[in-house]
A and B are shown apart, each in its own frame.
Chain A
Amino acid sequence: MKCFIGIDLGSTTTKAVVMDETGAQLGHGITNSRSNYDTASAVAKQEAFIDTRLTLFRRGLAGVAGLEGKVDELIEGLERNFRLEQFLEQLQDLQDTCLKNGEDLRFAKIRKALAESIDETFVRLREKVHGLYAPGVERKSDFFRDLAGSQYMQLAEAVAEESGLPFDAMLNVYDKSIIEVENRPPAGDMIGKFPRALHRVMTEEGHDFKADEDSVAAPIKTALDVEIEETYVVGTGYGRVRLPFPKEHIRSEILCHGLGAHLMYPNTRTVLDIGGQDTKGIQVDDTGIVVNFQMNDRCAAGCGRYLGYIADEMNLGLHELGPLAMKSTKNVRINSTCTVFAGAELRDRLSLGEKREDIMAGLHRAIILRAMSILSRSGGVEDEFTFTGGVAKNEAAVKELRKLVEENYGERTLNINPNSIYTGALGGAEFARRAVMEAA
């Protein structure tokens, strides 16, 4: 089947969306941007293809007798076990790479012990992994590096101590290897992994599928046999210039965001996107065409990165900031959205006895005020108003935005899509689709 792909290379994450020729969205994928945009876009695309297969499975399984009301459960299990398969595969790659790097001359004296310790660490790692992918277990991250890394650290330290090896050596080997592995996209083989994953689901405890494995495997196989053709790819985002694409395959993130927001909410007229490095105010017409836009000026104050900085400064996770700010009962005015000064002002406020939640609320307001001025430069806020980007997930930011927009522009329908992070990639996929379908 013909597939159209949009890839959005952001400064922190890279997103991909796959669309069919009718404009229906088949799948999306995300990965961290790393320092290597090529790999990031390959991984994101592969993730989107995996998601596309899942969509196809869902369609194929719809009519299977004995699965009524259980398709979602099966798909969930299938994906989870596919991730496990994938994880195991990458883990094997990491182990091989560690062993190879352990042969470095620097480790000549401990070579054998090191290899044994690495093997032992990975044996223990594998035992742990199954638990990570058991039904209902919440994982902190789905990125291989995050999952493998934290486990390796713990286990390797214990193994090193038992074997009397310097932990440094174990760490050193890992650091070198993880970069190599991460920059090698996992093998795309789905034909092998999905059936194995299916088998795991069907034999897992706790399910009550009436259909047997064979009757389920048939539509899965049919879906896997569908050839997915990369008909046209459009790249966007800040890293787009680094993509090895011809110019006509590249669109500015402004156009893609505008169009993506239009596809998600066809009545959108104003889009606000607060990303890691920049903030954009975009005005679109009733067909999703951008009629005006402005971005933050040279100074990146008040962008998503600012929140990251504050989180670091307060020793909190990024996702904890919003909920903390929501507890605020008092207005504290934060005057500086300058990332450089934010830390100093923060400490000053704390030392004056201000509460953390009140300061947090003030910070969120400060960010939204910056966004308001960019919206104003781009032509204001029209109905409907769509908010995208990482900061759109932050409830405290959304609360302030809602309030300020209403005060300054009147009542507006505010759209926030749970998948808003894919807005740019979605717009890109649509551009790709049009490039082919409308030329035809």
Chain B
Amino acid sequence: MSTADIIKRCEALYEDLHFSASREWKAADPGRKVIGYMPVYVPVELIHAAGMLPLGIMGGGDQMEVIHGDAYYQSYICRIPRSTIELGIAKRLDFVDGMLFPSICDVIRNLSGMWKLMFPDTYVRYIDVPQNYKDDIGGLFYQQEMRELLEGLEELSGRKVSDDDLRNSIKVYNENRALIREIYKQRSAEPWKIPTAELYLLARAGMVLPVEEHSDMLREYLEAVAIEDKPKRDNCRVIINGSFCEQPPLNLIKSIEMSGCYIVDDDYIQVNRWLKEDVPTDINPFQALASAFLHHSADTAAKYAETEEDVGKQLLESIRENRAEGVIFAAPSFCDPALLWRPMLADKISEHNVPYISFKYAENSGQMAPIREQAGTFADSIKLWS
């Protein structure tokens, strides 16, 4: 299959807000359950080990009309909870047996309780993650939280999950994460070959497909991309930061690249890259997942930076490793974590003379002209002055 064919399939999955692929998976066997989760990260291994399909709910994008969702939110609240409620009310999630709401901000936190009130028949759990990074404090707390989650899932599925089941799931996800990392690495090396819009769609496919199928897809893509050639352009190399929760419209990603920027790293869809190293399979699986979270997980605004030195550390590393020439802070409107974090990150990269621009978007932003203009000017200025 060519990359174009693969991307076409991804695009169809991305646009399908009835989640047919996940529905089909569930319908294939009457005992199957689907567990939805919101950004940024949940331990998907647990869902997989319980024989269920983790389904990433990344909002409603720019194609779905929100008819009911606005009745639940004031104008100063971001877009993703509205469209997620819309998905629920419009019965697009009626096949979902459980919903997980990770600790990302107060809006998503409160949405967990709203979901309990609105959909009392669905299993709902708020996923608290540790902000204390010591194994015997935050680690133990998180292990116990995961155990409680697993108990809930076991109850839902009516089947016990063994440590070996968990280890197996960790292995499956280690593979998936390694493939994602590989594609990211290759994009950074030859960004003209892997446009970010394609990479994004590939990663999004992982939100709705069973992980094994997704890994196969990633392998096929890597094979296909190796034998294709695309023209290299004189673009500058930038990193996108702040887009970890509510996702930008695909057009926005395309607009940035069309304006003369190669995106060489980003924080879109984090769940399949959150753990940055393979999770060990030879120790207690809860301990392994907790330890990976504490010591090897991605840095976003939703996490506490233990020391001032930790602030922006990963961003600076990424700038170095990916030879980035600038940073685009692109955060959703009204996104507290990203917008509160941004001035600190901006300070840090300024200390290293890395230029940046900032703008806000919504998942349904319609006008791209200002974005193209800003990104284009940014690219020109980098080319001129560097």
Contacts and interface: CB of A to CB of B under 8 A. Distances in A.
B62 to A, nearest CB: 7
Interface residues of B, number: 19
Contacts of B62: 333, 335
A373 B366 contact: no
B254 to A, nearest CB: 14
A345 B75 contact: no
Contacts of A369: 65-67, 70
Interface string B344-386: 0000000000000000001011111110000000000000000
B74 interface: yes
Given A297-B75, A299-B75, A408 B367 contact: no
B27 interface: no
A297 B63 CA distance: 25
Interface string A106-121: 0000000000000000
Contacts of B365: 335
Interface in B72-93: 74-76
Interface string B54-67: 00000000110111
B68 to A, nearest CB: 7
A345 B364 CA distance: 12
Given A297-B74, A297-B75, A301-B75, A345 B366 contact: yes
Contact of A404 (B67, B76, B367): B67
B369 A348 contact: yes
B68 A376 contact: yes
Interface string B145-178: 0000000000000000000000000000000000
Given A335-B62, A336-B366, A298 B67 contact: no
Nearest to B370: A344
B137 to A, nearest CB: 42
Contacts of A335: 62, 362, 364-366
B71 interface: yes
A372 B67 contact: yes
Contacts, number: 51
B178 to A, nearest CB: 38
B367 A341 contact: yes
Given A369-B65, A408-B67, A348 B367 contact: yes
Contacts of A344: 367, 369-370
A70 interface: no
B200 to A, nearest CB: 20
Nearest to A368: B67
A341 B368 CA distance: 12
A349 interface: yes
Nearest to A281: B71
Contacts of B76: 298-299
A115 to B, nearest CB: 54
Contacts of B68: 373, 376, 408
Contacts of B70: 369-370, 373
Contacts of A351: 369
Interface string A235-271: 0000000000000000000000000000000000000
Nearest to B69: A373
A104 B25 CA distance: 86
Interface string A395-417: 00000000010001000000000
A276 B367 CA distance: 26
A193 interface: no
A334 B63 CA distance: 10
Interface string A29-67: 000000000000000000000000000000000000000
A334 B366 contact: yes
A200 interface: no
B78 to A, nearest CB: 14
B360 to A, nearest CB: 12
Chain A residues touching B, majority SS? helix
B367 A333 contact: no
A377 interface: yes
Interface string A339-372: 0010011011101000000000000000001101
B285 to A, nearest CB: 44
Interface string A271-310: 0000000000000000000000000011101000000000
Interface string A307-337: 0000000000000000000000000011110
A98 B299 CA distance: 72
B225 to A, nearest CB: 30
A68 B304 CA distance: 87
Given A298-B75, A301-B75, A349 B366 contact: yes
Contacts of B65: 333, 369
Contacts of A377: 71
Given A335-B62, A404-B67, A408-B67, A348 B366 contact: yes
Nearest to B66: A369
A334 B66 CA distance: 11
Nearest to A372: B67
A371 B65 CA distance: 14
Contacts of B366: 333-336, 345, 348-349
A377 B68 CA distance: 10
Nearest to A333: B65
A370 B67 CA distance: 8
Contacts of A347: 369
A91 B368 CA distance: 52
Contacts of A336: 366-367
Contacts of A334: 366
Interface in A111-148: none
A376 B68 CA distance: 8
B71 A373 contact: yes
A335 to B, nearest CB: 4
A179 to B, nearest CB: 36
A376 B369 contact: no
Interface string A65-96: 00000000000000000000000000000000
A372 B70 CA distance: 9
Nearest to B74: A297
A345 B67 contact: no
B148 to A, nearest CB: 35
Contacts of B364: 335
The CB with the most chain B CB atoms within 10 A, among A334, A335, A374, is that of A335
A336 B370 CA distance: 15
Contacts of A345: 366-367
Interface in B19-72: 62-63, 65-68, 70-71
Contacts of B362: 335
Nearest to A404: B67
Nearest to A300: B75
Interface in B244-283: none
Contacts of A299: 75-76
A351 B63 CA distance: 19
* 9 tightest Cβ-Cβ pairs between the two chains A and B: A376-B71, A299-B75, A373-B70, A373-B71, A348-B367, A335-B364, A335-B366, A345-B366, A345-B367
Given A298-B76, A374-B71, A408-B68, 6 more contacts: A298-B74, A336-B367, A344-B369, A369-B66, A369-B70, A404-B67
Interface of A: 297-299, 301, 333-336, 341, 344-345, 347-349, 351, 369-370, 372-374, 376-377, 404, 408
21 contacts: A297-B75, A298-B74, A299-B75, A301-B75, A333-B62, A333-B63, A335-B62, A335-B362, A335-B364, A335-B366, A336-B367, A344-B369, A344-B370, A345-B366, A345-B367, A348-B366, A373-B71, A374-B71, A377-B71, A404-B67, A408-B67
